[in-house]
Chains A and B, each alone.
Chain A
């Protein structure tokens, strides 16, 4: 494990209005994630895991506190700069896979690279490499609706890697999979961390992930316990 800090969050808060009442989804959370670390976030539904991941991934902005990811202060970024940040530094893996139904498996993987203006030839070349890594070459031309849940999630992980992100954010990546497939996916993510040195922050309920994590943090009512 390397010691450089990829995530530095201080007194991070995120408040919402729910039915007119203020709700603290994240309440003064401080956190540091080192480069190459595999951090697992645990907690019940509604504890603030997804909100914290959204903040770290630049999908949402904090109500208070400071947040630095890959040396960039996210609190000062506008929507367009945040989009660039996500494109260049983040890789997302979602519970619901979030593949685009009109695109083939190959195109889904290549999409973030294409969005980053990578030459299409290079983008698709790299997408092929990642599909090989995810053992999905034979599914390359299939649409998401034509592959299994495990294959969809592996496609999503391949997509998360295409722009060589500094951080992979995974939100319940096995939540929609059976335990056997879920186990394979966790193994794949573990390999990414161990053999490729990717930093991973993952929210999960799965106890299988505990053994893989360098560190486990538990959230309750928007705070670490």
Chain B
């Protein structure tokens, strides 16, 4: 190893330092790739960690929880369960997200608990000077209604102190609470990023208008308790209640976040992958340039393995330096990505409240190992070729263009085979809920299409010179001809371009198809002029409903032409949640439509309206494997009933999918009379804005309502959509940047290699302008070659993204649409990047010192 280190020092490092800018560009390319990869993972990890910690703090030491879907748990059950011989401790919980004073402010979690029963489960202590004050606070919490204790952070951000009164707003009520004290910074106070307040369970029931009902009862069983005991507990529960492991919901949410992390990781890895091309390109060009020197080293007794390790070591140097520079950059980027990632996870999956990035040693080590491995792998092929250089080449003064040209057809065939194989690989079933086959297929096409690059360049070299000579003259002919002649150098840079362009086109098609389908869904399915719901009903898991007087007012208002009223329930089935939406479907059918994925629309809708079956979303169908004609058993509030699945609809709400049914049928069978929200259609001439103002005036001081103008809501949803994909655009831009760096580096190396040739051209009369034009045209032709192959790679990539990755990760697909602007924009973008990348080499080419060069060796 000492020998390799010495050779690396004397031979490689000095060469690299002779070209400090080029070396810096490659290191920068690797650094950007490494930092993007690590930062995205750190940002998602911070969200996962915040969510996990928050859930753990809230679940506390509970072994089991008694829950009921939709209706809630009767509080009489608490006493029954507390006296069960297998139960060591029980604690009732009723919580909701509420707001202080203002509906525009961030919601916080109001946790209704029994302060005494609670102690066995969660740390919920409050700050007190002495025992007497602690006791006084406890008594106040238990005996005085509408009192609460908040975290110190929450009190600080609202400027509250002990004894202050504050308005608390919820969909069912708005009331004044007295602040009795501040929570210690431990246990439940650390959940939700510190946005937590605690009140007595009776206060919570009264405030949230849920008399006699609980959200859940947490249980700690005696250590000796076994399956028979849990069965006996289940037996005493009413039919609407279930004994569940408290972590089940957490695992389902975590699995969705992990799928999102995997998607982002793969996208961000592409930058590192493109960086790999950069290392490959530079190491292979270096290996070719130093072929003679390597032969000298070999003739002097360097072993072939040592020569191999020497060039592999160059890859390692690039990886190491790239990671060292990329690491601080990743911390900076992670901080920027955190807000976007956190907002996306909150929008798509679960509410997360993240304060800061956590430097996970596993992620740091993983990024270090991956960056180094990628760089070393990139150097592997040129290093292997180096080890095969015959040492007798040291006796020759000639340099050799390698036999890559001869290998082009073989490479192209192997590439085509890889592309062909990627399809069956993509159809493999998910592994641990991850579309492993899809991701493997994506990397197979990246590699496969890149292997076509030498062939395309040779074809360019053969057919392009004649054509371009007519447009660009001799510089065009020479530029096109050189591309075909220097395939071993240019093919790698073109491979990097192919990958970056494919990413751009593939992701653009996916996002555009998704956006257009989503837009159609919004226009046809999310219909209404005014949307009225209890505030924060989504993060409160649709446990709230519109106050009867509000619902009555809306349904009998003169200016309302029609209303799609609904009742939503989060249900659990097959270890995963889904949304049961019972709505007045005839109203929706009058003003919009479901985006059916097959079947007779009229027949399906009529049956749905008559309550003869249910419709399921594509996501639910993907998750459960159910489809039209199958039977779905739904059990709610102790009532079990089987339903025929009438059709599958597109729906882009997250959370495990949606089951639709007629509201009247639902209310009759499941006895859940509430109206949870209404999408109102106002009569012609009536203004939804005026109606909104009237509603706020009438009910704004009694209930926290979310009243949104239809167009605003649809626009807001599209904005959330665009924000969600903003990180994707950043990742695409970075991949393109790294690919452009690859073109710049390759070109500058090619210019350096051809200085004598360029000097000769100038000596026989070529002008500086012609030389510059030739170099720029070389870059543009490389861009064109990359684009031609990249388009096809992008099309295949978009197919995998839409029909494999999205379907297996999130359960949905979209109507495939290829926006022509994608091809045009990517073409313009890549030519622009190539032209910009060509500027420094073109300037360097024209700075050739003729006298010095022509003097000879």
Contact = CB atoms under 8 A, between A and B. Distances in A.
A96 B397 contact: yes
B3 interface: yes
Query: Which of B18, B306, B394 has its CB near the most chain A CB atoms (within 10 A)?
Result: B394
A221 B390 CA distance: 23
B366 to A, nearest CB: 35
Interface in B1-30: 2-3, 6-7, 10-11, 14-15, 18
Given A50-B395, A117-B2, A87 B10 contact: no
Nearest to A114: B6
A98 B301 contact: no
Given A53-B395, A94-B395, A117-B2, A83 B303 contact: yes
B11 A102 contact: yes
A142 B200 CA distance: 85
Interface stretch (B123-131, B290-298, B323-331, B511-519): B290-298
A46 B15 CA distance: 34
Interface in A104-122: 107, 111-112, 114-117, 120
B764 interface: no
Contact of B300 (A80, A101, A112): A112
B10 A112 contact: no
B293 to A, nearest CB: 6
Given A94-B394, A115-B3, A79 B300 contact: no
A71 to B, nearest CB: 18
B305 interface: yes
A60 interface: yes
A49 B557 CA distance: 108
Interface in A22-64: 50, 53-54, 57, 59-60
B303 A80 contact: yes
B624 interface: no
B293 A59 contact: no
Nearest to B294: A100
Nearest to A112: B300
A115 B395 contact: no
Nearest to A175: B397
A59 B395 contact: yes
Given A53-B395, A59-B395, A60-B390, A103 B299 contact: no
Interface in A81-97: 83-84, 86-88, 90, 92, 94-96
Nearest to A83: B303
A171 interface: yes
Nearest to B301: A87
Contact of B305 (A80, A98, A111, A112): A80
Nearest to A115: B301
A96 B394 CA distance: 9
Contacts of A54: 392, 395
Nearest to B305: A80
A79 B386 CA distance: 13
A122 to B, nearest CB: 14
Contacts of A111: 10, 300
B822 interface: no
A103 B395 CA distance: 19
Given A59-B299, A80-B304, A102-B11, A114 B3 contact: yes
Interface in B359-413: 390-392, 394-395, 397
B391 A59 contact: yes
A171 B300 contact: no
A84 B303 CA distance: 7
B14 A84 contact: no
Query: Which of A53, A90, A98, A101 has its CB near the most chain B CB atoms (within 10 A)?
Result: A98
B302 interface: yes
A102 B10 contact: yes
A156 B115 CA distance: 89
B296 A98 contact: yes
A110 B400 CA distance: 28
Contacts of A100: 10-11, 293, 296-297
B403 to A, nearest CB: 14
B304 A103 contact: no
A102 B18 contact: yes
A111 B306 CA distance: 14
A65 to B, nearest CB: 17
A111 B15 CA distance: 16
Contacts of B14: 102-103
A103 B15 CA distance: 10
Interface residues of B, number: 28
A79 B300 CA distance: 13
Given A98-B394, A117-B2, A83 B301 contact: yes
B392 A59 contact: yes
A107 B394 contact: no
B299 A92 contact: yes
B298 A101 contact: no
A83 B302 CA distance: 6
Nearest to A120: B6
A79 B304 contact: yes
Given A102-B15, A114-B6, A59 B300 contact: no
Contacts of A80: 303-305
A86 B300 contact: yes
Contacts of B18: 102
Contacts of B300: 86-87, 92, 111-112, 115, 159
Contacts of A101: 293
A86 B15 contact: no
Interface string A172-211: 0000000000000000000000000000000000000000
A88 B293 contact: no
A105 to B, nearest CB: 13
Nearest to B303: A83
A153 B765 CA distance: 37
Contact of B301 (A86, A94, A96): A86
Nearest to A101: B293
A107 B10 contact: yes
Interface in A156-179: 159, 163, 171
A171 B303 CA distance: 22
Contacts of B301: 83-84, 86-88, 90, 112, 115-116, 163
Contacts of A99: 296
A40 B299 CA distance: 21
Contacts of B304: 79-80, 83
A53 B395 CA distance: 10
Query: Which of B10, B293, B302, B306 has its CB near the most chain A CB atoms (within 10 A)?
Result: B10
B395 A86 contact: no
A99 B11 CA distance: 12
Contacts of A103: 10-11, 14
Interface in B279-326: 292-293, 296-306
A95 B2 CA distance: 31
Contact of A59 (B15, B297, B394, B397): B394
B385 to A, nearest CB: 14
A80 B6 CA distance: 19
A130 to B, nearest CB: 15
Contacts of B394: 59, 92, 94, 98
A96 B397 CA distance: 7
Given A59-B394, A96-B397, A83 B296 contact: no
A136 to B, nearest CB: 18
Contacts of A115: 3, 6-7, 297, 300-302
A123 to B, nearest CB: 10
A103 B304 CA distance: 21
Nearest to A171: B395
Contacts of A98: 292, 296, 299, 394
Given A103-B14, A114-B6, A115-B300, 14 more contacts: A54-B392, A57-B299, A59-B390, A79-B303, A86-B391, A94-B394, A96-B397, A100-B11, A100-B293, A100-B296, A102-B10, A115-B6, A159-B300, A171-B395
11 contacts: A60-B390, A83-B303, A83-B391, A84-B303, A87-B300, A94-B296, A95-B395, A95-B397, A100-B293, A115-B300, A171-B395
Query: Which 3 residue pairs spanning A and B have beta carbons closest together?
Result: A87-B301, A102-B14, A83-B303
